[in-house]
């Protein structure tokens, strides 16, 4: 084996961003375990916590009524960052910023306060988190613009929990109805208001039809009556006081060109919600009494004890029992290659231990129950193959992160490469240190045979590092170099020469940290949409590439998926809004995964690379944010809100130069793959970007063609 404890302990400090599943459970009619976390960079403000409590309390009653007495919020946890004053708050156990359902953090773009839900799954799939800015929670003038915070919360909760979509569409605010009339994209269509155009753009403020599109010209807006009779929909405009329900089959507007219709095949939001798992066996509360108000627990993040457990051949019981009350809330990283038939004996103890257990299953014989240990403690699951040419253990350790939301001292992996190198041959490559990183930069080289390879490393200005500069551990076959102070941004080239007279595997891994805590890091998160998959159902692999909260577009993203036995599957992930990729240009790259070579555990690794270029997202926020209400008509008078702050070029993206990242995602399990050859099982996927426009009396249709198998290969039409 090429690893030893010493090797592992050095690497344990390498974290990586990883979002794990929500811990919210529906028990009876009550949602328990909702986690709201405040980012460590948010300055302390004594009003934030009371305003969160007020928001959730209002939301709970509104939600209860909107779901016809089916669900409300009960136990809520608010996670306060370590950067805030201590105040006898509780100590977190399995809660961490990275797992939060709701985050409070700096805005997505500089002057924006739009609440939004990070949602890039299919219809009915859960979102990742809801993002509120501190200003949204503190500035009461924003209530006129977005509606009351509790109502906004229920709107976002429906995105997050039930995978429904908005019923407005800022890109397509109008449509031509079946009666050949121009209408505002909305639900229900009973909502009343007037069409108004800014005086600057249209004469006398009247909306004018554009003869090419048949729709109103730019500058025209639909201004709602403040007082309405229509009671839906919450996915449209919960800020209207009459709106207390979701659109259902009786009033759903199937003509509106919005995401809900596009993604959910014209099904109403209420019908989509009712078909979610929450309502399979849930019954409305009987009687007329209101549910109890939510209960809040306040916890404050603190440093976590990390304990590494290598290969427990005896029993998991020992590991958990030895943890006393002091270490509850610690993190255990369990690295195991063996079988342990008694794992399930300690499940209840594990569950009560208050520890988070991350699992690294090594090789193909690791016990089958391991995944459950991580599942019940909110830990992560990884699988490392024992193939010699992969750095899988190094990569996996980079996948275990401090998860506090503080990226200023977080290590990121830039390179992970390995190659079987012939006698006296060399292995060389160039890695890019980008402008966001450079502190604590490590180069780590490993080899197999009892002979130190020749290592040469050149920095961007030509300075040369050789074996003399590296710290060498010949017993572990490993050498490492920490670049003093800040590693220079640019291309670094390494050449590792095999000095042995037979061929061997040489590997190189490079990690670094943020250069300055005020510069956001370029980060990559890797995950699949399922933890267990049954053939022939397909999976989706996702990579989220971002700079702070901003998406990075146009990167080359390659997924390497390794089974227990057999060759890795290589996929190029795309951000093109077609096939598995729901939203174009949101920095989330996706691809279907369906051609499995066998059953068992699979590991996931991503390589992300980008040249020196800048592509700005358009619109600046790719996920549909809460509606910015232009104004209302009240007693026949138009009352306009302050206009939406405009997005300035510099706000949406800075020039980053070229960069690269290597990231491991959680492992997953595939079963029911037949052993023999199989016939063409896979249909082309659904077209989700179909469009039509008129030009010179012709209708031009456009769409991205799916593949023969989902989004891969060439379909025939
Ligand atoms: C509750 O919902 C019903 C419709 O289902 C509505 O008539 C009623 O006004 C709502 N009550 C409140 C307090 O929002
Ligand atoms: C919710 O909180 C109450 C009071 O703190 C507690 O009694 C109850 O067990 C909690 N429920 C859950 C599911 O955690
Ligand atoms: C609401 O309903 C009332 C009574 O039916 C009617 O008088 C009023 O005009 C309606 N308001 C709107 C905005 O449609
Ligand atoms: C974790 O376990 C629960 C209950 O056993 C199951 O419903 C859930 O799907 C599991 N989650 C994952 C991610 O495996
Ligand atoms: C950053 O992390 C390193 C290694 O864990 C530690 O030595 C250093 O003190 C940390 N720096 C800060 C500013 O927290
Ligand atoms: C690696 O070495 C080969 C042969 O010496 C050379 O052609 C190539 O340019 C080198 N690549 C890098 C990235 O330095
Ligand atoms: C490699 O070198 C060792 C001694 O260092 C020698 O015993 C062995 O025969 C050599 N192998 C080859 C393939 O030349
Ligand atoms: C970090 O960047 C900020 C703004 O760019 C600058 O003011 C500050 O001096 C930098 N800090 C360090 C330690 O370089
Ligand atoms: C990205 O992919 C394109 C096309 O495959 C290729 O031309 C380009 O060199 C790649 N860029 C990087 C940084 O790897
Ligand atoms: C990126 O390109 C710009 C101009 O295109 C250039 O000024 C800059 O130096 C380049 N940066 C790097 C790191 O190559
Ligand atoms: Ca995308």
Q: Compute, in angstroms, the gap from residue 556 CA to the centroid of ligand 9.
A: 6
Q: Which ligand is nearest to the CA of 636?
A: 3
C-alpha 487/C-alpha 493 separation (Å) is 13
Kindly state if the Cβ of 254 falls inside 6 Å of ligand 5: no
Give me the mean pLDDT over the 233-241 stretch.
95
pLDDT tier, 383 (very low <50, low <70, confident <90, very high otherwise): confident
Atom 8 of ligand 10, nearest CA residue: 657
pLDDT at 363 over 60: yes
CB under 6 Å to ligand 4: residues? Answer: 21, 375, 531
Q: In the prediction, which pLDDT does 617 show?
A: 66
Backbone angles phi, psi at 561, to 5 degrees: -115, 115
Ligand 3 mutation pick, 191, 227, 229, max ligand atoms within 8 A of CB: 229
Per mean pLDDT, which range of 16-30, 526-540, 569-583, 594-608 is the poorest?
Answer: 16-30
- Which has more pLDDT, 20 or 468? 468
**Do the beta carbons of residue 118 and residue 422 sit within 8 Å?**
no
Q: In the prediction, which pLDDT does 22 show?
A: 81
Q: Compute, in angstroms, the gap from residue 412 CA to the centroid of ligand 4.
A: 29
Alpha-carbon distances, residue 90 vs 80, 293, 327, 357 (angstroms): 10, 21, 14, 20
Kindly state if the Cβ of 657 falls inside 6 Å of ligand 10: yes
- Which has more pLDDT, 30 or 178? 30
Q: Report pLDDT digits (tens) over 553-594.
A: 899 999 999 998 888 899 999 999 888 898 888 899 999 998
Atom of ligand 9 nearest to the CA of 610: 13
Q: Which ligand is nearest to the CA of 502?
A: 7
CB under 6 Å to ligand 2: residues? Answer: 27, 32, 75, 295
Q: In the prediction, which pLDDT does 388 show?
A: 62
Give me the mean pLDDT over the 314-341 stretch.
63
**Do the beta carbons of residue 9 and residue 101 sit within 8 Å?**
no
Q: Which ranges in 334-466 belong to alpha helices (H)?
A: 347-352, 370-377, 392-398
pLDDT at 483 over 90: yes
Atom of ligand 6 nearest to the CA of 426: 2
Per mean pLDDT, which range of 30-44, 148-162, 317-331, 697-711 is the poorest?
Answer: 317-331
Q: Compute, in angstroms, the gap from residue 229 CA to the centroid of ligand 3.
A: 6
Q: In the prediction, which pLDDT does 384 show?
A: 83
Tokens of 511: 């990690």
Smallest Cα–Cα separation from 242: which of 190, 284, 185? 190
Alpha-carbon distances, residue 49 vs 56, 144, 454 (angstroms): 11, 21, 57
Kindly state if the Cβ of 408 falls inside 6 Å of ligand 5: no
Give me the mean pLDDT over the 113-125 stretch.
91
**Do the beta carbons of residue 175 and residue 243 sit within 8 Å?**
no
Which residues belong to the active site? 156
C-alpha 618/C-alpha 109 separation (Å) is 13
Atom 9 of ligand 2, nearest CA residue: 75
pLDDT tier, 6 (very low <50, low <70, confident <90, very high otherwise): very low
Q: What is the torsional sign of CA 435, 437, 438, 439?
A: positive
**Phi-psi sector, 352: left (phi>0), alpha (psi -120 to 50), beta:** alpha
Atom of ligand 7 nearest to the CA of 423: 13
CB under 6 Å to ligand 6: residues? Answer: 428-430, 493
Q: Report pLDDT digits (tens) over 590-625.
A: 999 988 888 999 999 999 999 887 776 666 677 788
pTM: 0.86
Backbone angles phi, psi at 32, to 5 degrees: -115, 150
Ligand 10 mutation pick, 489, 654, 656, 657, max ligand atoms within 8 A of CB: 657
pLDDT tier, 342 (very low <50, low <70, confident <90, very high otherwise): confident
Q: In the prediction, which pLDDT does 607 show?
A: 93
- Which has more pLDDT, 372 or 483? 483
Mean pLDDT is highest, among 308-317, 343-352, 518-527, for 518-527
C-alpha 25/C-alpha 289 separation (Å) is 23
- Which has more pLDDT, 395 or 606? 606
Q: In the prediction, which pLDDT does 400 show?
A: 73
CB under 6 Å to ligand 3: residues? Answer: 192, 225, 228-229
**Do the beta carbons of residue 36 and residue 299 sit within 8 Å?**
no
Q: In the prediction, which pLDDT does 12 show?
A: 29
pLDDT tier, 644 (very low <50, low <70, confident <90, very high otherwise): confident
Backbone angles phi, psi at 715, to 5 degrees: -80, 160
pLDDT at 45 over 50: yes
Q: Which ranges in 189-301 belong to alpha helices (H)?
A: 259-263, 269-274
Atom of ligand 2 nearest to the CA of 295: 2
C-alpha 597/C-alpha 236 separation (Å) is 45
C-alpha 595/C-alpha 623 separation (Å) is 30
Provide DSSP, 552-588: --S-EEEEEEEESSSPPEEEEEB-SSSTT--STTSSE
Q: Compute, in angstroms, the gap from residue 244 CA to the centroid of ligand 1.
A: 6
C-alpha 126/C-alpha 164 separation (Å) is 9
Q: Compute, in angstroms, the gap from residue 502 CA to the centroid of ligand 7.
A: 8
Q: Compute, in angstroms, the gap from residue 501 CA to the centroid of ligand 7.
A: 6
Q: In the prediction, which pLDDT does 618 show?
A: 66
Q: Compute, in angstroms, the gap from residue 594 CA to the centroid of ligand 9.
A: 25
**Do the beta carbons of residue 34 and residue 295 sit within 8 Å?**
no
pLDDT at 683 over 80: no
Helices 48-66 and 149-162 pack at an angle, to 10 degrees, of 70
pLDDT at 715 over 70: no
Kindly state if the Cβ of 202 falls inside 6 Å of ligand 1: no
Atom 1 of ligand 5, nearest CA residue: 409
pLDDT tier, 61 (very low <50, low <70, confident <90, very high otherwise): very high
Q: Compute, in angstroms, the gap from residue 13 CA to the centroid of ligand 5.
A: 9
Atom 3 of ligand 9, nearest CA residue: 556
C-alpha 441/C-alpha 446 separation (Å) is 17
Give me the mean pLDDT over the 122-133 stretch.
92
Atom 9 of ligand 1, nearest CA residue: 244
CB under 6 Å to ligand 7: residues? Answer: 501-502
- In SS3 terms, 113-137 reads as CCCEEECCCCCCCCCCEEEECHHHH
Per mean pLDDT, which range of 7-11, 73-77, 294-298 is the poorest?
Answer: 7-11
Q: In the prediction, which pLDDT does 324 show?
A: 47
Give me the mean pLDDT over the 378-382 stretch.
85
Q: In the prediction, which pLDDT does 269 show?
A: 97
**Do the beta carbons of residue 587 and residue 575 sit within 8 Å?**
yes
* Secondary structure percentages of the chain, helix, strand, coil, to 5: 15, 30, 50
Q: Which ligand is nearest to the CA of 292?
A: 2
Backbone angles phi, psi at 53, to 5 degrees: -60, -40
Q: In the prediction, which pLDDT does 717 show?
A: 52
Q: In the prediction, which pLDDT does 199 show?
A: 72
Q: In the prediction, which pLDDT does 653 show?
A: 54
Q: In the prediction, which pLDDT does 279 show?
A: 95
- Which has more pLDDT, 401 or 282? 282
Q: Compute, in angstroms, the gap from residue 71 CA to the centroid of ligand 11.
A: 32
Q: In the prediction, which pLDDT does 292 show?
A: 97
- Paired residues of 334 in beta bridges: 309, 359
Smallest Cα–Cα separation from 516: which of 459, 435, 443, 461? 435
pLDDT, averaged across the chain: 85
C-alpha 88/C-alpha 86 separation (Å) is 6
CB under 6 Å to ligand 9: residues? Answer: 556, 609-611
Give me the mean pLDDT over the 367-387 stretch.
81
pLDDT at 350 over 80: no
Atom 11 of ligand 4, nearest CA residue: 375
Kindly state if the Cβ of 516 falls inside 6 Å of ligand 8: yes
Mean pLDDT is highest, among 12-26, 384-398, 555-569, for 555-569
Q: Compute, in angstroms, the gap from residue 409 CA to the centroid of ligand 5.
A: 6
pLDDT at 1 over 50: no
- Paired residues of 588 in beta bridges: 544
C-alpha 291/C-alpha 66 separation (Å) is 13
Q: In the prediction, which pLDDT does 118 show?
A: 92
With vertex at residue 36, the alpha carbon angle to CA 30 and CA 37, rounded to the nearest 5 degrees, is 160
**Do the beta carbons of residue 253 and residue 187 sit within 8 Å?**
yes
Backbone angles phi, psi at 402, to 5 degrees: -70, -20
Q: What is the torsional sign of CA 225, 230, 236, 239?
A: positive
Provide DSSP, 284-336: PPPSSPPPPPPEEEEEE-----EEEEE--SS-HHHHHHT--GGGTT-EEEEEE
Q: Report pLDDT digits (tens) over 403-456.
A: 677 777 788 899 888 888 999 999 999 999 998 999 999 999 999 988 999 999
pLDDT tier, 391 (very low <50, low <70, confident <90, very high otherwise): confident
**Do the beta carbons of residue 120 and residue 582 sit within 8 Å?**
yes
Mean pLDDT is highest, among 315-329, 333-347, 394-408, 618-632, for 618-632
**Phi-psi sector, 587: left (phi>0), alpha (psi -120 to 50), beta:** left
Q: Which ligand is nearest to the CA of 485?
A: 8
C-alpha 384/C-alpha 11 separation (Å) is 15
């Amino acid at each position: 084996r090429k690893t030893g404890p010493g090797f592992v302990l050095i690497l344990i400090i390498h974290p990586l961003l990883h979002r794990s599943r929500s811990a919210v459970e529906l028990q009876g009619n009550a949602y328990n375990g909702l986690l709201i976390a405040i980012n460590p960079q948010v300055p302390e403000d004594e009003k934030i916590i009371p305003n969160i409590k007020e928001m959730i309390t209002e939301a709970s009653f509104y939600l209860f009524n909107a779901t016809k007495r089916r669900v409300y919020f009960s136990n809520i946890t608010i996670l306060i960052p370590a950067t805030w004053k201590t105040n006898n708050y509780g100590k977190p156990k399995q809660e961490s910023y990275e797992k939060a359902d709701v985050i409070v953090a700096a805005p997505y773009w500089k002057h924006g306060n739009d609440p939004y839900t990070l949602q890039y799954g299919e219809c009915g799939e859960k979102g990742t988190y809801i993002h509120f800015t501190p200003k949204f929670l503190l500035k009461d003038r924003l209530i006129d613009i977005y509606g009351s915070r509790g109502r906004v919360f229920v709107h976002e909760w429906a995105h997050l929990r039930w995978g429904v979509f908005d019923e407005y569409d800022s890109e397509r605010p109008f449509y031509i109805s079946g009666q050949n009339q121009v209408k505002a994209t909305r639900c229900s269509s009973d909502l009343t208001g007037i069409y108004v155009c800014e005086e600057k753009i249209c004469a006398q403020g009247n909306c004018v039809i554009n003869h090419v599109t048949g729709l109103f010209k730019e500058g025209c807006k639909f201004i709602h009556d403040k007082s309405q009779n229509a009671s839906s929909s919450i996915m449209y405009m919960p800020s209207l006081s009459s709106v207390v329900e979701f659109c259902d089959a009786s009033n759903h507007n199937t003509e509106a060109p919005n995401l809900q219709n596009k993604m959910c095949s014209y099904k109403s939001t209420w019908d989509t919600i009712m078909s979610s798992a929450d309502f399979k066996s849930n019954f409305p509360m009987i009687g007329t009494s209101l549910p109890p108000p939510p209960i809040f627990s306040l916890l404050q993040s603190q440093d976590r004890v990390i304990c590494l457990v290598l290969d427990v051949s005896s029993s998991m019981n020992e590991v958990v029992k030895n943890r006393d009350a002091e270490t509850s809330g610690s993190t255990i990283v369990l690295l195991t290659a063996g079988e342990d038939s008694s794992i399930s004996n300690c499940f209840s103890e594990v569950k009560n231990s208050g520890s988070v257990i991350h699992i690294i299953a090594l090789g193909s014989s690791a016990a089958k129950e391991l995944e459950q240990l991580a599942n019940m403690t909110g830990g992560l699951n990884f699988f490392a193959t024992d193939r010699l040419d992969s750095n899988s253990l190094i990569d996996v350790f980079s996948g275990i992160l401090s998860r506090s939301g503080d990226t200023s001292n977080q290590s990121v992996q830039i390179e992970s490469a390995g190659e079987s190198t012939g006698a006296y041959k060399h292995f060389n490559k160039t890695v890019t240190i980008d402008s966001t990183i450079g502190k604590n930069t490590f180069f780590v080289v490993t080899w197999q045979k009892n002979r130190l390879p020749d290592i040469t490393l050149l920095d961007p200005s030509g300075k040369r590092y050789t074996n003399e500069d590296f710290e060498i551990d010949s017993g572990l076959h490993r050498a490492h170099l920490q670049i003093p102070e800040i590693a220079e941004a640019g291309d670094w080239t390494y050449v590792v020469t095999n000095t042995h007279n037979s061929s061997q595997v040489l590997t190189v891994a490079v990690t670094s940290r943020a250069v300055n805590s005020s510069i956001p890091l370029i980060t990559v998160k890797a995950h699949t949409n399922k933890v267990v998959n049954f053939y022939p159902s397909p999976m989706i692999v996702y990579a989220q590439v971002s700079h702070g909260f901003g998406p990075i577009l146009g990167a080359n993203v390659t997924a390497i998926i390794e089974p227990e036995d057999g060759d890795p599957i290589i996929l190029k992930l795309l951000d093109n809004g077609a096939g598995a990729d729901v939203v174009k240009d949101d920095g989330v790259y996706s691809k279907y995964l369906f051609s499995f070579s066998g059953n068992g555990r699979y590991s996931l690794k991503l390589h992300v690379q980008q040249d020196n270029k800048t592509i700005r997202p358009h619109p600046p926020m790719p996920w549909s944010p809460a509606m910015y209400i232009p104004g209302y008509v009240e007693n026949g008078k138009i009352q306009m809100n302050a206009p939406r702050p405009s997005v300035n070029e510099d706000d949406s993206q800075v020039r980053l130069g070229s960069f690269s990242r290597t990231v491991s995602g959680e492992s997953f399990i595939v079963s029911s793959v037949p052993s023999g050859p199989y016939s063409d099982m896979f249909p082309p996927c659904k077209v989700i970007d179909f469009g039509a426009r008129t030009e010179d009396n012709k209708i031009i249709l456009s769409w991205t063609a799916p593949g023969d198998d989902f989004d891969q290969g060439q379909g025939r039409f």
